[in-house]
Structure 1
Amino acid sequence: MAEFRRNAVKIKHILARRPFKALMIALLVGLVFGVAQIGEPLENMIELGRNKLRSHPASGSIVLIAIDDRSVGEIGSAHWNGSQLASLVRQADAAGARQIHLDDELDDVGTARQAADLESALGSARAQILLPARFSINPVSGARSDYLPPARFARHARLANTNLFVWWDDRVWQHPYAAEIGDRPVPSLSSLLGGADPKPGALFRIDYANDIRSIPMVSASDVLDHRIGPEQFAGKRVVIARTDIGVEHYRAPGVTLVPGILIHIAAAETILRGVPLDLGWPIPLAVALLLAAAVVCARRRAIAAGILALAVAAAIIAPLLLEIAGIHIQMLPPLAALLTAAVVRIVARLRRTYQTRGTINIVTGKPNLQALHQAERNAGIVVSARVANYAQITATLPPQNEKELVEQIFGRLEFGADGAQIYQADEGVFVWVARDDRDESIVQRIEGLQALFRSPIVVATRLIDLAVTFGLDHDASRPLAQRTSSALVAADEALRDGKRWASFNPATIKDADWAMSLLGRLDHAIDKKELWVAYQPKVDCKTGATIGAEALVRWAHPEKGQLPPDQFVGAAERGGRIDRLTYFVLDSALAAVARIQGRDPDFTMAVNLSVLLLSSRTLVPTVEALLLQHRVEPRLLTLEVTETSTLGSAEDQLANLKRLSDIGVQLSIDDYGTGFSTLEYLRRIPASEIKIDRSFIAMLCNSQSDRIMVNSTIQLAHSLGRKVVAEGVESQEILDELRRMGCDVIQGYHTGRPVPLAVLLKRLKSTGAQEAA
Structure 2
Amino acid sequence: MSVLKLPKALSGYRIAMLFSAVISALAGTLWMIDGGIENSLRSARDTIRNQPASGEFVIVEIDAQSLAEIDTWPWPRRIHGQMVDRLNEADVETIAFDVDFSSHSTPNEDLAFAEALQRSNAVVLLPAFRQYAGAGDTRYIDSEPIEELREGAFLASVNINAGSDGQVRRALLGVETNGLPRPSLAAMLANVHGEADISFPIDYAIDPGTIPRFSYAEILSGSADLSELSGKSVIIGATAIEMGDRYAVPRHGIIPGVVVQALGAETLVEDGVPAEHGPALALSLAALGVLIMFCSGSHLLRAVGAAAVMVIIFTFPILTEQWFNASYKIVPGLMMLIATGLTGVSAMVLRKYRRTQLTDRETGLRNRTALLLSARRKDEIAIIAGHVERFAEIAALLSAEELKAFFAEIARRLSVASGGQAIYRIDDTLIAWRAAELSHEDIGEHLEGVAALFRSPIEIGSQRIDANLFFGVAEGSGRDIRSLTVGAALAAARAMASGLCWDRHVEGDGANNKWHLSLLGELDDAMDNGALWVAFQPKFTIENRTVVSAEALVRWNHPERGPIPPDSFIPTVEKRGRMADLTLFVTARALAAVLRWQSSGLDCGVAVNVSANLLDDPAFLSRFAETVDSSGIDPAKLTVEVTESSAFENPDRAIRGMEELRTMGIRLSIDDYGTGQSTLSYLKRLPVQELKIDKSFVQSIESSQSDNILVRSTIELAHDLGLSVVAEGIETESCLEMLRGLGCDTGQGYLVGKPMAVGEFERVAMKELEPQGQLAA
- Structure 1 length as normaliser, TM-score? 0.59
Aligned pairs (5 A) from 1:292-303:
none
**CA separation of 1:581/1:15 partners in 2, compared to 1, >3 Å: closer, same or farther?**
closer
Instruction: Say if 2:18 is the partner of 1:26.
Output: no
**CA separation of 1:674/1:192 partners in 2, compared to 1, >3 Å: closer, same or farther?**
farther
Q: What residue in structure 1 maps to residue 742 of structure 2?
A: 741
Q: What residue in structure 1 maps to residue 421 of structure 2?
A: 423
Q: What residue in structure 2 maps to residue 207 of structure 1?
A: 203
Q: What residue in structure 2 maps to residue 591 of structure 1?
A: 599
Q: What residue in structure 2 maps to residue 756 of structure 1?
A: 760
Segments of structure 2 that go 5 or more residues without pairing to the other structure are 1-8, 89-93, 118-123, 138-142, 150-154, 176-181, 349-367, 400-407, 459-463, 508-513, 648-653
State whether residues 383 and 473 of structure 1, in contact with CA within 8 Å, keep that contact through their aligned partners in structure 2. Answer: yes
**CA separation of 1:207/1:717 partners in 2, compared to 1, >3 Å: closer, same or farther?**
same
Please state whether the residue corresponding to 1:657 is helix, strand or coil: coil
Aligned pairs (5 A) from 1:533-548:
536=538, 538=540, 541=543, 545=544, 547-548=546-547
Please state whether the residue corresponding to 2:476 is helix, strand or coil: coil
State whether residues 60 and 215 of structure 1, in contact with CA within 8 Å, keep that contact through their aligned partners in structure 2. Answer: yes
Q: What residue in structure 2 maps to residue 352 of structure 1?
A: none
Aligned pairs (5 A) from 1:613-628:
none
Match among 259, 263, 267 for residue 270 of structure 1: 267
Instruction: Say if 2:215 is the partner of 1:216.
Output: no
Match among 523, 530, 533 for residue 515 of structure 1: 523
Distance 1:154 1:761 in 2: 88
Q: What is the Cα deviation at residue 515 of structure 1? A: 0.6
Distance 1:657 1:720 in 2: 19
CA RMSD after TM alignment: 7.2
Given residue 226 of structure 2, which amino acid in structure 1 is its aligned partner?
G
Please state whether the residue corresponding to 2:214 is helix, strand or coil: strand
Given residue 695 of structure 1, which amino acid in structure 2 is its aligned partner?
S
Please state whether the residue corresponding to 1:443 is helix, strand or coil: helix
State whether residues 59 and 211 of structure 2, in contact with CA within 8 Å, keep that contact through their aligned partners in structure 1. Answer: yes
Please state whether the residue corresponding to 1:502 is helix, strand or coil: strand
Aligned pairs (5 A) from 1:410-489:
423=421, 425=423, 433=435, 435=437, 437-439=439-441, 441-443=442-444, 470-478=471-479
**CA separation of 1:119/1:740 partners in 2, compared to 1, >3 Å: closer, same or farther?**
farther
Distance 2:454 2:21 in 1: 57
Instruction: Say if 2:338 is the partner of 1:330.
Output: no
Cα offsets for 1:290-314 (capped at 9, x unmatched) = 879998999999xx99x99998898
Please state whether the residue corresponding to 2:706 is helix, strand or coil: helix
Distance 1:452 1:93 in 2: 108
Please state whether the residue corresponding to 1:577 is helix, strand or coil: helix
Count of aligned positions: 654
Q: What percentage of aligned pairs have identical amino acids?
A: 23
Distance 1:626 1:714 in 2: 30
Distance 2:669 2:47 in 1: 67
**Greater mean alpha carbon deviation, residues 612-621 or residues 327-336:** 612-621
State whether residues 690 and 724 of structure 1, in contact with CA within 8 Å, keep that contact through their aligned partners in structure 2. Answer: yes
Q: What residue in structure 2 maps to residue 139 of structure 1?
A: none
State whether residues 386 and 491 of structure 1, in contact with CA within 8 Å, keep that contact through their aligned partners in structure 2. Answer: yes
Q: What is the Cα deviation at residue 475 of structure 1? A: 1.0
State whether residues 472 and 488 of structure 2, in contact with CA within 8 Å, keep that contact through their aligned partners in structure 1. Answer: yes
Distance 2:347 2:375 in 1: 21
Segments of structure 1 that go 5 or more residues without pairing to the other structure are 1-13, 104-112, 136-142, 146-150, 181-185, 350-368, 396-402, 458-462, 526-530, 595-603, 628-633, 661-666
Q: What residue in structure 1 maps to residue 84 of structure 2?
A: 93
Instruction: Say if 2:760 is the partner of 1:731.
Output: no
Distance 1:735 1:216 in 2: 91
**CA separation of 1:344/1:698 partners in 2, compared to 1, >3 Å: closer, same or farther?**
closer
Please state whether the residue corresponding to 2:606 is helix, strand or coil: strand
Match among 655, 662, 669 for residue 654 of structure 1: 662
Q: What is the Cα deviation at residue 499 of structure 1? A: 1.6
**CA separation of 1:177/1:520 partners in 2, compared to 1, >3 Å: closer, same or farther?**
farther
Distance 2:685 2:415 in 1: 61
Q: What residue in structure 1 maps to residue 502 of structure 2?
A: 501
Q: What residue in structure 2 maps to residue 229 of structure 1?
A: 226
Cα offsets for 1:422-454 (capped at 9, x unmatched) = 537489989674546343x54356557778998
Cα offsets for 1:80-121 (capped at 9, x unmatched) = 864899898556533155322359xxxxxxxxx9x9999999
State whether residues 27 and 289 of structure 1, in contact with CA within 8 Å, keep that contact through their aligned partners in structure 2. Answer: no
Distance 2:665 2:411 in 1: 51
**CA separation of 1:84/1:715 partners in 2, compared to 1, >3 Å: closer, same or farther?**
farther
- Structure 2 length as normaliser, TM-score? 0.59
State whether residues 78 and 113 of structure 2, in contact with CA within 8 Å, keep that contact through their aligned partners in structure 1. Answer: no
Aligned pairs (5 A) from 1:159-198:
174-175=169-170, 177=172
Cα offsets for 1:360-397 (capped at 9, x unmatched) = xxxxxxxxx999999989446456789989999xx9xx
Q: What is the Cα deviation at residue 608 of structure 1? A: 1.9
Q: What is the Cα deviation at residue 521 of structure 1? A: 2.6
State whether residues 533 and 551 of structure 1, in contact with CA within 8 Å, keep that contact through their aligned partners in structure 2. Answer: no
Given residue 714 of structure 1, which amino acid in structure 2 is its aligned partner?
I
Q: What residue in structure 2 maps to residue 704 of structure 1?
A: 705
**CA separation of 1:614/1:269 partners in 2, compared to 1, >3 Å: closer, same or farther?**
same
Q: What is the Cα deviation at residue 517 of structure 1? A: 0.7
Cα offsets for 1:343-364 (capped at 9, x unmatched) = 9999999xxxxxxxxxxxxxxx
State whether residues 61 and 216 of structure 2, in contact with CA within 8 Å, keep that contact through their aligned partners in structure 1. Answer: yes
Given residue 329 of structure 2, which amino acid in structure 1 is its aligned partner?
Q
Cα offsets for 1:595-642 (capped at 9, x unmatched) = xxxxxxxxx53422566798766688778x657xxxxxx9xx865442
Distance 1:62 1:584 in 2: 69
**CA separation of 1:718/1:116 partners in 2, compared to 1, >3 Å: closer, same or farther?**
farther
Q: What is the Cα deviation at residue 269 of structure 1? A: 3.0
Cα offsets for 1:476-523 (capped at 9, x unmatched) = 33478996897688557645653212224565554323111122235x
Please state whether the residue corresponding to 1:98 is helix, strand or coil: strand
Aligned pairs (5 A) from 1:631-642:
639-642=638-641
Distance 1:375 1:729 in 2: 53
Please state whether the residue corresponding to 2:58 is helix, strand or coil: strand
Please state whether the residue corresponding to 1:593 is helix, strand or coil: coil
**Greater mean alpha carbon deviation, residues 211-220 or residues 580-589:** 211-220
Q: What is the Cα deviation at residue 330 of structure 1? A: 2.2
Distance 1:121 1:335 in 2: 59
Distance 1:207 1:489 in 2: 79
Please state whether the residue corresponding to 2:546 is helix, strand or coil: strand
